[in-house]
């Protein structure tokens, strides 16, 4: 989703901002723009719909790159209000053309403010809510004659909604102002240089000294100095500079054409990294939960909240925690959790799962749980992200930067963390013996099995290509594998644009079976477990209606072979590992269908990696 990078210092800002925009590309966007204060005291704004490389090309042609005074702001836009075109892309300026702004988030009361400004003869160029904010700042600066800082403050005090903004004013060329409410913003400091980012990815290359702006805070950079204040009052607050130990390797696809493909293959290491150091002869160590463990292990009800793929991991977590630790778990979409009457109180444990750590709904759910006095636990992939800072405690999935918009390695790492957590809870509640925990955690063997599944890639590709022209798919699984079905369907939808639905296999009779005909592929996930015979009946029901049957199983039974149009055999393993292996098959299956349709699977249409608005 939208990304911000800004620079204030003595260097030419363009290379820094363009590099930053590339770093932000993974978030998903449809246009990009940059504004820079020139040596001649002007503001130069360049915007383009499409990719950052198109903006770069435009800048080269304009030959304005050399004309930079040292301050600039840049943005990748993911359209919310108004079409994804050049006019609506950021930066936006006020009517006088003196003030320029980039914005992440949504200004909810833009309509009455726009009407007010129109009554003062302000003319609007774009359809965006963002232009309303910069015009309001301009109104206070030009009409009310407040100074720059006061104008930004006055405008922000009048807007509702979420924002992370950076503003420049050519009449105050030494100043850059950043502020946030709802949307995250990070300030990087290096001697006489300052960097602002919507996350640390465009900044870490330059400095590891970071201030995570807190909600409703402003950073005012003036010359070589800066202060942090609240939006309400111009009173300096403590500067909480943190030294972060987080490197983002140069994006490198290695031998792979797409990051998604690389990330699917990385699961051998990422699952290993997520477990490594957390399991020893005495059991499972989750250091990040240490302080809160006595309360967590006593919980009599657990809530899990998340969005999208992370929510699917939550459903698997529920199954594992209820199975091993016998605690009831309620899983709720974060977007529902934040508004529903949820029975969270100060005896509750709320687990929030998020790859990016910046998903707006998940953060709002965490705030609600914190306010209710619950213990909040983050399962998150990005150290320093809002989820990791705003939960009481947590466990990191250690899978490194996930660039592909469709989550792959983060999902299997999330279920790995949930597996460790469920086993640790089961052990702490005396429901599992030390030896049974040990037996579950034969992960070296498990990693070998991931390798074996990846070796089946060409077979999976062959099968995927047979079905690439289908217009609808059903994914069916039971128990732990129902969320796997949901995740398989989501992967196919988001990267191939084919309609797909996941269902508990037996539920299919209650409606979806009406869709089945000889053109419809049905992907069954079939472990040899206690529901095996039942799921065979479900397959028969589809078969007798001529549906195409694709089976993923660890069973060599002839019966399955006879029922399947295509069958992918995965190695025998435990329940948790079956889920991981079946997921990897489904990731590859979706990947090959999408690639055969020539879709850029790393940045599928309309999707954003980090969903920072509600
Ligand atoms: C799907 C996908 C999304 C995310 C969702 C939550 O492949 O990536 O559904 O899972 O937007 O994002 P995080 O986990 O960053 O909170």
Instruction: Provide the pLDDT for residue 606.
Output: 81
Burial (CB count within 10 angstroms: exposed 0-12, middle 13-18, buried 19+), residue 286: middle
Q: Binning pLDDT at 50, 70 and 90, where does residue 94 land? A: very high
Q: Binning pLDDT at 50, 70 and 90, where does residue 609 land? A: confident
| Cβ density class 357-387: b for 16+ within 10 Å, e for less | bbbbbbbbbbebbbebebbbbbbbbbebbbb
For 7-24, write each residue's pLDDT tens digit.
Answer: 999 999 999 999 999 988
Rg (CA), the chain: 26
Q: Are 185 and 108 in contact (CB under 8 A)?
A: no
Q: What are phi and psi of 457, to 5 degrees?
A: -50, -45
Q: Binning pLDDT at 50, 70 and 90, where does residue 248 land? A: low
Distances (CA, A) of 545 to 408, 437, 549: 33, 44, 11
Q: Tell me the CA–centroid distance for residue 354 and ligand 1, in Å.
A: 7
Q: Which of 51, 409, 424, 609 is catalytic?
A: 609
User: Tokens at residue 32, please?
Assistant: 């990009």
Instruction: Provide the pLDDT for residue 277.
Output: 87
Q: Binning pLDDT at 50, 70 and 90, where does residue 464 land? A: very high
Rounded CA separation 191/194 (Å): 8
Instruction: Provide the pLDDT for residue 342.
Output: 80
Instruction: Provide the pLDDT for residue 494.
Output: 96
Instruction: Provide the pLDDT for residue 246.
Output: 66
Asked about 393 being catalytic, the answer comes back as: no
DSSP 356: S
Q: Binning pLDDT at 50, 70 and 90, where does residue 2 land? A: confident
Rounded CA separation 370/393 (Å): 12
Reported CATH class of domain 455-599: alpha beta
Instruction: Provide the pLDDT for residue 250.
Output: 52
Burial (CB count within 10 angstroms: exposed 0-12, middle 13-18, buried 19+), residue 191: exposed
Q: Which of 2, 13, 380, 399 is catalytic?
A: 2
Residue bearing the CA closest to ligand 1, atom 5: 308
Q: Which CATH architecture has domain 256-441?
A: 3-Layer(aba) Sandwich (3.40)
Q: Is the pLDDT of residue 173 over 60?
A: yes
User: Tokens at residue 316, please?
Assistant: 């698997």
Instruction: Provide the pLDDT for residue 83.
Output: 84
Q: Tell me the CA–centroid distance for residue 387 and ligand 1, in Å.
A: 13
Residue bearing the CA closest to ligand 1, atom 8: 407
- The reply to whether 2-246 and 256-441 are identical in fold is no
Q: Is the pLDDT of residue 249 over 80?
A: no
Sequence ranges of the domains in the chain = 2-246, 256-441, 455-599
3-class DSSP string for 35-47: EEEECCCCEEEEE
Within 492-596, strands assigned E span 499-504, 521-526, 548-553, 566-569
Q: Is the pLDDT of residue 79 over 90?
A: no
Between helix 13-24 and helix 52-62 the angle, nearest 10°, is: 160
Measure CA 326 to chain center: 30
Please tell me which residue, 293 or 250, carries the higher pLDDT value: 293
Q: Tell me the CA–centroid distance for residue 578 and ligand 1, in Å.
A: 22
Q: Which atom of ligand 1 is nearest to the CA of 311?
A: 10
Asked about 190 being catalytic, the answer comes back as: no
Q: Which atom of ligand 1 is nearest to the CA of 309?
A: 10
The predicted model gives 131-140 an average pLDDT of 98
Query: How many CB atoms neighbour CB 558 within 10 A?
Result: 8
Instruction: Provide the pLDDT for residue 251.
Output: 60
The predicted model gives 100-114 an average pLDDT of 94
Interacting residues of 185 by C-beta distance below 8 A, sequence separation 6+: 4, 104, 164, 165, 166, 178, 179, 196, 197, 198, 213, 219
Instruction: Provide the pLDDT for residue 63.
Output: 65
Among 44, 187, 174, 29, residue whose Cα is nearest residue 104: 29
Q: Is the pLDDT of residue 414 over 70?
A: yes
Rounded CA separation 477/551 (Å): 10
Which parts of 326-374 fold into alpha helices (H)?
Answer: 334-337, 360-371
Q: Which atom of ligand 1 is nearest to the CA of 356?
A: 15
For the entire predicted model, the pTM comes to 0.84
User: Tokens at residue 485, please?
Assistant: 């079905």
The predicted model gives 241-259 an average pLDDT of 79
In the CATH scheme, what is the code of domain 2-246?
3.60.20.10
Q: Is the pLDDT of residue 551 over 80?
A: yes
Instruction: Provide the pLDDT for residue 604.
Output: 87
Percent of the chain with pLDDT over 70: 98
Among 576, 566, 237, 200, residue whose Cα is nearest residue 383: 200
Instruction: Provide the pLDDT for residue 59.
Output: 87
Q: Is the pLDDT of residue 65 over 80?
A: no
For 291-316, write each residue's pLDDT tens digit.
Answer: 999 999 999 899 999 999 999 999 99
Instruction: Provide the pLDDT for residue 85.
Output: 86
Torsion of CA 270, 273, 275, 281, to 10 degrees: 150
Q: What is the mean pLDDT of the chain?
A: 93
Pocket of ligand 1 (CB under 6 A): 307-310, 354-356, 359, 362, 406-407, 490, 494, 611
Q: Tell me the CA–centroid distance for residue 249 and ligand 1, in Å.
A: 22
Q: Binning pLDDT at 50, 70 and 90, where does residue 512 land? A: confident
Measure CA 333 to chain center: 14
Q: Binning pLDDT at 50, 70 and 90, where does residue 168 land? A: very high
Q: Is the pLDDT of residue 485 over 60?
A: yes
Task: Identify the weakest region by mean pLDDT among 189-193, 436-440, 489-493.
Answer: 436-440
Q: Is the pLDDT of residue 64 over 80?
A: no
């Amino acid at each position: 989703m939208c990304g911000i990078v800004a620079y204030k210092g003595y260097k030419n800002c363009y290379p820094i901002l363009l590099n930053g925009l590339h770093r932000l590309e993974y978030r998903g966007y449809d246009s990009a723009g940059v504004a820079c204060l020139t040596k001649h005291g002007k503001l130069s704004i360049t915007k383009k719909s499409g990719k950052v490389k198109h903006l770069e090309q435009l800048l080269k042609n304009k030959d304005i790159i050399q004309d930079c005074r040292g301050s600039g702001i840049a943005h990748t836009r993911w359209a919310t209000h108004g079409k994804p075109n050049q006019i609506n892309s950021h930066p936006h300026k006020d009517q006088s053309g003196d003030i320029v702004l980039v914005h992440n988030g949504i200004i909810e009361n833009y309509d009455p403010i726009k009407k007010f400004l129109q009554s003062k003869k302000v003319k609007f160029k774009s359809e965006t809510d963002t232009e309303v904010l910069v015009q309001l700042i301009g109104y206070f600066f030009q009409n009310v004659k407040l100074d720059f800082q006061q104008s930004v403050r006055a405008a922000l005090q009048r807007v509702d909604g979420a924002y992370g903004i950076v503003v420049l004013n050519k009449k105050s060329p030494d100043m850059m102002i950043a502020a946030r409410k709802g949307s995250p913003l990070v300030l990087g400091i290096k001697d006489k240089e300052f960097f602002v980012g919507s996350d640390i990815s465009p900044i870490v290359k330059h400095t590891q000294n970071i201030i995570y702006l807190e909600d409703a805070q402003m950073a005012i950079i003036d010359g070589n100095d800066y202060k942090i204040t609240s939006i309400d009052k111009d009173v300096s607050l403590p500067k909480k500079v943190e030294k972060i130990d987080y490197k983002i390797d140069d994006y490198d696809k290695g031998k792979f054409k797409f990051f998604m493909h690389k990330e699917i293959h990385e699961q051998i290491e990422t699952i290993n990294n997520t477990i490594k150091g957390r399991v020893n002869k005495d059991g499972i160590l989750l250091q990040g939960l240490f302080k809160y463990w006595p309360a967590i292990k006593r919980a009599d009800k657990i809530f899990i909240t998340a969005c999208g793929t992370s929510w699917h991991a939550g459903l698997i977590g529920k199954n594992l925690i209820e199975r091993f630790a016998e605690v009831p778990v309620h899983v709720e979409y974060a977007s529902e959790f934040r508004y529903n009457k949820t029975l969270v109180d100060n005896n509750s444990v709320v687990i929030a799962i998020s790859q990016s750590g910046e998903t707006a709904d998940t953060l709002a759910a965490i705030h609600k749980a914190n306010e209710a006095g619950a213990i909040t636990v983050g399962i998150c992939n990005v150290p320093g992200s809002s989820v990791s800072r705003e939960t009481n405690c947590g466990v990191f999935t250690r899978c490194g930067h996930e660039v592909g918009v469709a989550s792959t390695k983060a999902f299997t790492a999330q279920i790995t963390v949930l597996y460790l957590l469920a086993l640790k809870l089961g052990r702490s509640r005396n429901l599992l013996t030390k030896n049974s925990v040990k037996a579950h955690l034969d992960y070296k063997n498990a990693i070998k099995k991931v390798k074996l599944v990846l070796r089946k890639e060409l077979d999976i590709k062959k099968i995927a290509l047979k079905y690439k022209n289908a217009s609808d798919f059903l994914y069916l699984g039971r128990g732990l594998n129902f969320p796997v079905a949901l995740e398989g369907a989501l992967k196919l939808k988001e990267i191939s644009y084919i309609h797909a639905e996941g269902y508990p296999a037996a539920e299919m009779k209650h409606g979806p079976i009406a869709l089945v005909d000889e053109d419809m592929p049905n992907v069954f996930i079939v472990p040899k477990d206690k529901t095996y015979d039942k799921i065979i009946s479900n397959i028969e029901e589809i078969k007798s209606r001529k549906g195409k049957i694709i089976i993923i199983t660890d069973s060599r039974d002839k019966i399955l072979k006879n029922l399947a149009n295509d069958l992918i055999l995965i190695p025998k393993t435990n329940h948790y590992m079956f889920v991981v292996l079946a997921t990897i098959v489904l990731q590859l299956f979706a990947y090959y269908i999408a690639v055969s349709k020539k879709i850029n699977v790393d940045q599928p249409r309309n999707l954003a990696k980090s969903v920072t608005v509600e």
